[in-house]
Amino acid sequence: MPADLHATINSIIWIDKDRISGEPCFRSTRVPIQTLLDHIDLDEFLEDFPSVSRQQATLFLELAKTALLAHVDEST
């Protein structure tokens, strides 16, 4: 991953094992990244793009989340 992309990710997301059970959050907040993902309206997307299956969209979101969070530095 390019250093500038890695730095951008780390400027947005942090993990602190002592806060929110170590769940990835928006930097300097206690708002979990998962909260944003939960507020994305998957049903609306699938209605607008019926050729995409729910399974495809869900798997993509999970893969994207996993890949992104793999590059977040742990904060102390």
Residue ranges of the domains in the chain?
A: 3-71
Helix (H) / strand (E) element for 3: namely: helix 3-12
Per-residue pLDDT, averaged over 26-43, amounts to 90
Please check the confidence at residue 15 and state whether its pLDDT lies above 80: yes
What is the reported pTM? 0.71
- The identity of residue 8, as a single letter, is T
**Confidence (pLDDT) at 27:** 92
Rounded CA separation 66/6 (Å): 14
Those residues with Cβ within 8 angstroms of residue 25's Cβ, 6 or more apart along the chain or in another chain: 13, 14, 15, 16, 19, 31, 32, 33
- The predicted-structure confidence for 39-76, as pLDDT tens digits, reads as follows 889 999 999 999 999 999 999 998 988 888 777 765 44
DSSP letter at 73? P
Percent of the chain at pLDDT > 70 equals 93
